[in-house]
């Protein structure tokens, strides 16, 4: 009788052993499922999306930051557009230079410096290259309006989707982020129940600086 019961017990033990898994391997399996086609792992972040290579570490690196690419879209209508062309709502060459300088400075301060990393002047000398873009970008009004233009009050200076991808020397993506940005969202009260501010080029650049610092600081906290 004992032998009759021993065989089923052995079979049950083998079945349980086959179903049991090493916790480490379970974690590895989940990690593999989470990786995207570029091998980047999503990270929990206050930004809309952040993903990075496993064990991402770029301490002591040189990073070349490519000129920002801007994709414009129609959004605001607070100024009569009959007086302006769509081109008037885009950044000119001087503004683009200022935008690039702002992005380089804020990314270096908020993301590179905590990693003891620096900006590379030339791509050839860099360990990584950062590609940045502002998608669906729009400003509330022309940055250089005509003197006779009516004053413009708006709830935000600009809107855009900030997108960035960091590449290593072999051209492999090692970090990616994406976030919708309502630029210039801390205004004083104006009118009943409204939060408005007069739009000028001064407030635009001030709001851009504050918002980009917030974005890159959030990115830094995500990847610490």
More confidently predicted of 83 and 175: 175
What is the tens place of the pLDDT at every residue in 86-145?
Answer: 788 899 999 999 999 999 999 999 999 999 999 999 999 999 999 999 999 999 888 886
pLDDT at 35: 62
Question: CA–CA separation, 61 vs 128, rounded Å?
Answer: 8
What's this model's pTM, rounded to 2 decimal places?
Answer: 0.77
| Token pair in block for residue 84 | 């302006």
Percent of the chain with pLDDT over 90: 57
Exposed, middle or buried, 200 (CB in 10 Å: 0-12/13-18/19+)?
middle
3 state SS of 117: coil
Question: CA–CA separation, 94 vs 51, rounded Å?
Answer: 33
CA neighbor of 157 nearest in space, from 84, 89, 86 = 89
Question: CA–CA separation, 175 vs 65, rounded Å?
Answer: 14
Helix (H) / strand (E) containing 100: helix 93-107
What is the tens place of the pLDDT at every residue in 158-189?
Answer: 999 999 999 999 999 999 999 999 998 754 44
Judged by average pLDDT, the poorest of 34-38, 71-75, 78-82, 129-133 is 78-82
pLDDT at 166: 98
| Token pair in block for residue 36 | 């995207």
CA neighbor of 140 nearest in space, from 191, 94, 92, 203 = 203
Look over the chain and give the mean of its residue pLDDT values, rounded to a whole number.
81
What is the tens place of the pLDDT at every residue in 187-207?
Answer: 444 444 456 777 888 889 999
Which residues, including other chains, have CB under 8 Å from residue 153's CB and lie 6 or more apart? 78, 190, 196, 197, 198, 199
pLDDT at residue 25 above 70? no
Query: Phi/psi at 152 (nearest 5 deg)?
Result: -110, 125
Instruction: Report in angstroms the alpha-carbon separations of 137 from 58, 80, 111, 208, 222.
Output: 30, 19, 23, 12, 25
| Cα 24 to chain centroid, rounded | 31
Strands 49-52 and 118-119, by their bridges, are unpaired
């Amino acid at each position: 009788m004992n032998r009759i019961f021993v065989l089923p017990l052995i079979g049950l033990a083998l079945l349980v052993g086959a179903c049991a898994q090493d916790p480490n391997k379970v974690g590895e399996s989940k990690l593999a499922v989470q990786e995207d086609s570029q091998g980047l792992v999503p990270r929990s972040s206050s930004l809309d999306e952040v993903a990075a290579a496993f064990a991402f570490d770029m301490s002591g690196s040189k990073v070349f930051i490519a000129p920002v690419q801007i994709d414009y879209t129609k959004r605001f209508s607070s100024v009569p557009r009959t007086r302006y062309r769509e081109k008037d709502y885009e950044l000119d060459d001087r503004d683009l230079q200022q935008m690039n300088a702002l992005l380089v400075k804020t990314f270096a301060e908020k993301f590179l410096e905590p990693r003891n990393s620096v900006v590379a002047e030339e791509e050839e000398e860099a360990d990584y290259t950062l590609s940045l873009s502002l998608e669906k970008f729009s400003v509330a009004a022309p940055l250089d309006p005509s003197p006779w233009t009516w004053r413009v009050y708006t709830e935000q200076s600009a809107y855009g989707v900030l997108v960035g991808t960091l590449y290593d020397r072999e051209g492999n993506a090692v970090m990616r982020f994406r976030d919708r940005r309502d630029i210039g969202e801390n205004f004083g009260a104006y009118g009943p129940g409204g939060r408005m501010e007069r739009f000028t080029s001064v407030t635009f650049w001030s709001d851009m600086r504050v918002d980009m610092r917030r974005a890159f600081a959030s990115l830094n906290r995500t990847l610490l």
